[in-house]
Structure 1
């Protein structure tokens, strides 16, 4: 295994962008849904509107230039190329922090928090809040390599992230994540290989509630049970498809940009804070930037395979590492603190912000930054 870190620059061929426009122009749409809401999926009128904007107005080169302002690299870990951004803070006392995205997100989720986290003084903060950031693309996602063998689940990724951080010279670091990033970050806590000092997560995955909690739930806990039950019956179909038949799903995602866009963007409506359409919570260009990371890398299938690897039987082993949790109100799972403490045995920070959903770093970046600062700033480490 090579431990070389190679420089990388994003440079998408114009032929790929021309091909995208041709495919968008030739899209065959289904009929309109027989309801006047999103209950059967993303509505036809909205998809047609976004597809036309994507074809006529969206500018990938703007996004590419924005991404290339930062330092991108590749390194091989366990036989797979891992892409990551590495943004060092100007502050000499900055702490190393690895930020991990999830599905259907990407490194795009963190674009609005990079500045405040690496250079807090320039963004109204204090030097003590500075971090050196490492922002990788999950295996099979974005510009990272695509596993050709099974086994690249959350635990293997967690081990790879530890190799990545130590390879960059960070013998002591912090870790943060949401969605799959939270599952990987929690696995870093479970493994506790001696380098990670503390973790912060904004999707708190725990085991079944204790018998006592089930017998006497608080109103908040009862609401959390009902919310997750709704997700399982009405919102989790995508996960079951990706867990069971990612290859079959992938043919449609690889061939149709509108299919890939709709598969992703629907979640930015359903998991945002009270959004009627995704545009209520996110900039449309920002949404399409994220879709492009999947489309241009043909990553619909390879990203879905993470569900095959880890979704059916997630690791819920105890975590003794210092942990912080931020429970945003429109998150998929919103466990109570006493429920979370069943798994996270060293829970040092707990917060329930008043705004935000599943994609907190992208939806409410200012609040997300404050949560990360407050979490790690409150720990005497």
Structure 2
């Protein structure tokens, strides 16, 4: 596998075009509804857009992104962009971390510091990791797949090839959102390569085997399924659009930076532990670095494609099927859904479960220290088992 160093270098004309488009926005008329009740608040969106056009420094963001060692490779015809940061320690443990939507590899910059150099944060240097953070196909600098069929299961196959190409025959996996689905697929399809997986989200398409040989639903599980259905009805319109008509949404979001900022920014507010004030958790620069990655790579449409593919290949397990590698789960209080432990234990060997004190869907950005502690703790016995 040939690996090439990669550095982000967006042309000046693309940055100039972005600013011109923002300044030429035709703003939608407001409605007599409270702020955020019907989606992105127009006042907040105008403020963010003005900052994006007049004050946000993409070149500075680019310099910070390029501080992480990035690479490109080809795996069976699929180009993959990834960050590869080696740990500070005698025997760093290999870990692949997968992002989701509307995130990117940028989500993990603070977490990488914690995982790769634990001693700098007062933790045990023996807990250091070699971390690989690939960009999902169709996200940021990983081109969209040329052929249909790339769901979480096929991405898991790509990641195994990537890790082996980097010299890691066995490794751990971590993820939330779409990355949780990829991590589960890694454990289910490649138990010979994956020591264990750590999750901070359970994919909505996950269904354990519930048949005659299984226990009936518990009251907590029944409540979870009711809550899940209610959330999907009230908050899941974006996912239904992504998984049924992604190209319709892409036509407008790829043309309007303000539309893109509304589509993504509203999720960062709704899904984080911010008490309604998104900038209490994420700075404008952080929000716009992530949004700009979607805009400058024109990847919003291709990023939606994985929703389509995952709908066609949902994460459902047959009666009696078990995933062999152990699973750790960090349950953040402001996450989108709250599965009971028993729901996971129908399929997985859950060896670590922690109810976190704070944090939401973007745990690696919101609470990198808390998440790093959980990841270190989960993989410590697996690291020791490997010797």
Which interval holds the TM-score relative to the shorter structure? over 0.9
Structure 1 residue 247, shift from structure 2 partner:
1.1
Cα distance in 2, alignment partners of residues 154 and 377 from structure 1:
26
Give the aligned partner of residue 164 of structure 1: 162
TM-score for the superposition, normalised by structure 1: 0.94
Cα distance in 2, alignment partners of residues 369 and 110 from structure 1:
11
Count of residue pairs the alignment pairs up: 376
Q: How does 1:195-234 map to 2 (within 5 A)?
A: 195-205=193-203, 206-207=206-207, 216-218=218-220, 221=221, 224-234=224-234
1:63 aligned to which of 57, 61, 64: 61
TM-score for the superposition, normalised by structure 2: 0.93
Q: How does 1:1-381 map to 2 (within 5 A)?
A: 3-205=1-203, 206-207=206-207, 216-218=218-220, 221=221, 224-311=224-311, 313-317=313-317, 318-344=322-348, 346-379=349-382, 381=385
Corresponding residue SS for 1:321:
strand
Structure 2, gaps ≥5 residues long: none
Structure 1, gaps ≥5 residues long: none
Corresponding residue SS for 2:87:
coil
CA contact (8 A) 1:10 1:68 kept: yes
Cα distance in 2, alignment partners of residues 66 and 213 from structure 1:
51
Q: 1:51 to 1:271 in 2, by over 3 A?
A: same
CA contact (8 A) 2:104 2:140 kept: yes
Structure 1 residue 216, shift from structure 2 partner:
4.2
Cα distance in 2, alignment partners of residues 33 and 232 from structure 1:
24
Corresponding residue SS for 2:219:
coil
CA contact (8 A) 1:154 1:183 kept: yes
Structure 1 residue 280, shift from structure 2 partner:
2.4
Cα distance in 1, alignment partners of residues 127 and 90 from structure 2:
11
Cα distance in 1, alignment partners of residues 89 and 303 from structure 2:
35
CA contact (8 A) 2:151 2:313 kept: no
Cα distance in 2, alignment partners of residues 141 and 101 from structure 1:
10
Cα distance in 2, alignment partners of residues 114 and 85 from structure 1:
10
RMSD: 1.8
